[in-house]
Chains A and B, each alone.
Chain A
């Protein structure tokens, strides 16, 4: 799957984009976030407060229970501030 990070999530995690294999036991957005938090302090800090994290799967907003699959493009970003 392709993972994208934007705004302060990108700067805290330290990367903008990466490709990872779907980890075993990860079937939902929530499980993916749990797995990401184990990957290092940058991930753990950035994903500590989910009230300021938005998730898009294949460029559509989704909830934490949304399924994730190997071919997905998954983006994590803060609440938007355009306009």
Chain B
């Protein structure tokens, strides 16, 4: 299941709902991406008097974003024997520490859950149309894509289609 939403998500509730009623599930792997303080990291970890600096606004492409997430999820379901899977990605403005994305995979055994969870994040980061706008002391700045994310996505080989 995929969801693109403005509202925060409740991790406990989402994971409980994912596994409810399926006693074939032996394990759940999950990843939560959070808004971290990149502004002060760049400034050499100097304490910032203004905790709001570093908040993010996530822009997305309604329609294509959902389509790409569904494609990525379908690819994971084809590659691993999953009992259930979930991708929730938020858009809009988020403060430091808030959850941006929740990915969870459930399977009979842990290997499929761990691997597919990492796969979903790696592909999501390079294929799902979202863009981060970061609030810094110099004003708003678009976050640049990282080559290391491309390399992480490439580990999983191309789509089967």
Contacts and interface: CB of A to CB of B under 8 A. Distances in A.
With most chain A CB atoms within 10 A of its CB, the pick from B101, B128, B129, B143 is B129
B67 A59 contact: yes
B9 interface: no
A79 B64 CA distance: 14
A6 B126 CA distance: 16
A83 B129 CA distance: 10
B61 A78 contact: no
Contacts, number: 68
| Contact residues on B (Cβ < 8 Å of other chain), bracket | 20 to 34
Nearest to B150: A79
A60 B144 CA distance: 21
Interface string A1-43: 0001011100000000000000000000000000000000000
B58 interface: yes
B132 A81 contact: yes
B145 interface: yes
B129 A80 contact: yes
Interface of B: 33, 58-61, 63-64, 67, 89, 100-101, 121, 124-133, 142-145
